[in-house]
A and B are shown apart, each in its own frame.
Chain A
């Protein structure tokens, strides 16, 4: 693999991990700063119950920004989410201008609100399992998310979340 691609794939990995940290910290604008103007975000899942591919959430950069800005107006479960991301594969295009990556993730919910916060608080529960399927654009050595598909295995989502995953 040429040096150039090696550097790019390292930057792709780095960008995915930085996104994880921003999302965990609820630093939503830091997360969107890692995304290009043409960014598109989508959460999907396949349901064997209805035998269909489903979309659970989607939005372009403008829509995701508006969702994030309105979050404080909505009630939410307070339990923070912790994502564990492992980048499996990174494929850089030959011209070095784009890349794609597949990562696996699990999300834990660190209980703050529970059935009874006095009892549940402090406990971590497995919340979501899935894969990130990411596309990137590379301009002037800068790697930016172009698209993220969050492919969930879960079809049971108890209190869900307003938050992007």
Chain B
């Protein structure tokens, strides 16, 4: 078809329902706010790895859907999560990204979380243990026992990640949420403890779902020279994109030929436990968490939406805690060559989604985004995204192809239309 006029440009494509969506899903401010309350405040988020707080009294801070969070490890070694919010007048309790409460702070004692403002103190279980001039100010109207921290659902699972859910009553347990997609890697990730060796983040102008889309489709390997030369073979094109309940997708494994790219070496020797040599698995969890194991190194991405057209992506690299110094150095090198901030692929992925962010930023005209590739659910099929947006529609009660209308499943919507 030659270039199109506006009517043709904005017309529905000749594809089935569910094979395209409306770009307002990415650009609309109301939708972005609603996603925080309807999705991010309800799902299990892998906020960090337990190796980031290895010792008793270690802590990490983070946030989910604008709510500040603190993760602590107690003297009993148990990892717990709380809102990082002082119950007195709302000061952020801990301001550093990580550290230890073993040392006292200017306003407070060792082994306590201390709010620096008026020196209220809390133990590692979130109990309030000290209110300055408690009796003088509150007499018997309010006491320590009434002003504990807000505790959050928290579990350490699937390779030692710390999963937090802001809801007191999650609609589904972590096990039911993520157990099935993790089955393919469970033995590799849980055989022995893992350890994080890499952290960096990007804050870019695009919608968080566009980053997750990129992680859920391999058609964009045409952008990555490295993947084309090391990956494009028969077994690559036979890789399946498998959909799981709750909007998750797993891309099955195949053998990567690293030696086809000059300067690259096989990763066979340092494969994770139980993983056949040079295999590559991807687990994409709704609504934006990715676990990517390329033989010798695990990468994870965690998205934090900062607006319809702004997202923070936190990148981690992990190896085995038992690594010798030499093995660890090799894993880091493998990780960096493709996924490091100066590596071959990550930079290209970030350019790709930033370009999408430019054409779909707030207040841009809505248009159709095509998710219609059907290739027997293999690697260049877009079934991963179709599956994701159907789940998204249910959580949001919006139709991805017409987000101002309530959700209905693609098949039912098609039937209703046919009956009209």
**Which residues of A does B touch, CB under 8 Å?**
43, 45, 47-52, 54-58, 62-63, 66-67, 69-70, 73-77, 113, 115-116, 155-164
Nearest CB of chain B from residue A111's CB, rounded to whole Å: 12
Q: Specify which chain A residues have a CB less than 8 angstroms from the CB of B91 in the assembled complex.
A: none
- Tell me the complex Cα distance, A102–B69, Å: 39
Nearest CB of chain A from residue B236's CB, rounded to whole Å: 19
Nearest CB of chain A from residue B351's CB, rounded to whole Å: 6
Q: Which residue of the partner chain A has the closest CB to B229?
A: A73
Q: Specify which chain A residues have a CB less than 8 angstroms from the CB of B354 in the assembled complex.
A: 115, 159
- Tell me the complex Cα distance, A74–B229, Å: 12
Q: Is the CB of A157 within 8 A of B333?
A: no
Q: Specify which chain B residues have a CB less than 8 angstroms from the CB of A113 in the assembled complex.
A: 351
Which residue of B200, B316, B344, B346 is within 8 Å of A156 (Cβ)? B200
- Tell me the complex Cα distance, A162–B52, Å: 28
Q: Specify which chain A residues have a CB less than 8 angstroms from the CB of B263 in the assembled complex.
A: 62-63, 66-67, 70
Which residue of A47, A116, A155, A159 is within 8 Å of B204 (Cβ)? A159
- List 12 A-B pairs, Cβ < 8 Å: A48-B98, A54-B198, A58-B333, A74-B226, A77-B347, A115-B358, A158-B350, A159-B347, A159-B354, A161-B341, A162-B344, A164-B342
Asked whether B90 is an interface residue with its Cβ less than 8 Å from the other chain, the reply is: no
- Tell me the complex Cα distance, A52–B336, Å: 16
Q: Specify which chain B residues have a CB less than 8 angstroms from the CB of A69 in the assembled complex.
A: 262
Q: Which residue of the partner chain B has the closest CB to A54?
A: B198
Q: Specify which chain B residues have a CB less than 8 angstroms from the CB of A73 in the assembled complex.
A: 225
- Contacts A75-B348, A77-B347, A158-B350 given; does A56 touch B98 at CB 8 Å: no
Q: Is the CB of B205 within 8 A of A54?
A: no
Q: Which residue of the partner chain B has the closest CB to A59?
A: B263
Q: Is the CB of B98 within 8 A of A155?
A: no
Q: Which 10 A-B pairs have the closest CB atoms?
A: A160-B341, A57-B342, A157-B341, A66-B263, A73-B225, A47-B199, A50-B199, A49-B97, A158-B202, A75-B348
Q: Is the CB of A50 within 8 A of B52?
A: yes
Q: Specify which chain A residues have a CB less than 8 angstroms from the CB of B15 in the assembled complex.
A: none
Residues of B179-214 contacting chain A, CB below 8 A: 196-205
Which residue of A57, A155, A163 is within 8 Å of B199 (Cβ)? A155
Q: Is the CB of B347 within 8 A of A54?
A: no
Q: Is the CB of B340 within 8 A of A56?
A: yes
Q: Specify which chain B residues have a CB less than 8 angstroms from the CB of A77 in the assembled complex.
A: 347, 351
Nearest CB of chain A from residue B202's CB, rounded to whole Å: 5
Q: Is the CB of A57 within 8 A of B340?
A: yes
Which residue of A115, A155, A161, A162 is within 8 Å of B200 (Cβ)? A155
Q: Is the CB of B201 within 8 A of A156?
A: yes
Asked whether B357 is an interface residue with its Cβ less than 8 Å from the other chain, the reply is: yes
Q: Which residue of the partner chain A has the closest CB to B97?
A: A49
Q: Specify which chain A residues have a CB less than 8 angstroms from the CB of B99 in the assembled complex.
A: 48
Q: Specify which chain B residues have a CB less than 8 angstroms from the CB of A76 in the assembled complex.
A: 347-348, 351
Q: Specify which chain B residues have a CB less than 8 angstroms from the CB of A155 in the assembled complex.
A: 199-201
- Tell me the complex Cα distance, A136–B224, Å: 36
Q: Which residue of the partner chain A has the closest CB to B62?
A: A49
Q: Which residue of the partner chain B has the closest CB to A119?
A: B358
Q: Specify which chain A residues have a CB less than 8 angstroms from the CB of B97 in the assembled complex.
A: 48-49
- Tell me the complex Cα distance, A67–B49, Å: 32
- Contacts A57-B342, A70-B262 given; does A157 touch B98 at CB 8 Å: no
- Tell me the complex Cα distance, A58–B340, Å: 11
Asked whether B299 is an interface residue with its Cβ less than 8 Å from the other chain, the reply is: no
Q: Is the CB of B342 within 8 A of A75?
A: no
Q: Is the CB of A56 within 8 A of B201?
A: no
Q: Specify which chain B residues have a CB less than 8 angstroms from the CB of A156 in the assembled complex.
A: 200-203
Which residue of B49, B51, B350 is within 8 Å of A159 (Cβ)? B350
Nearest CB of chain B from residue A108's CB, rounded to whole Å: 17
Residues of B134-150 contacting chain A, CB below 8 A: none
Q: Specify which chain A residues have a CB less than 8 angstroms from the CB of B351 in the assembled complex.
A: 75-77, 113, 159
B353-366 CB contact bits vs A (8 Å, 1 = yes)?
Answer: 01001100100000
- Contacts A58-B333, A158-B350 given; does A74 touch B197 at CB 8 Å: no
Q: Is the CB of A74 within 8 A of B344?
A: yes
Residues of B79-96 contacting chain A, CB below 8 A: 96
Q: Is the CB of A160 within 8 A of B342?
A: yes
Q: Is the CB of A162 within 8 A of B347?
A: yes
- Contacts A74-B348, A115-B205, A159-B204 given; does A49 touch B343 at CB 8 Å: no
Q: Is the CB of A115 within 8 A of B199?
A: no
Q: Which residue of the partner chain B has the closest CB to A65?
A: B263
- Tell me the complex Cα distance, A54–B203, Å: 20
Q: Specify which chain A residues have a CB less than 8 angstroms from the CB of B196 in the assembled complex.
A: 50, 52
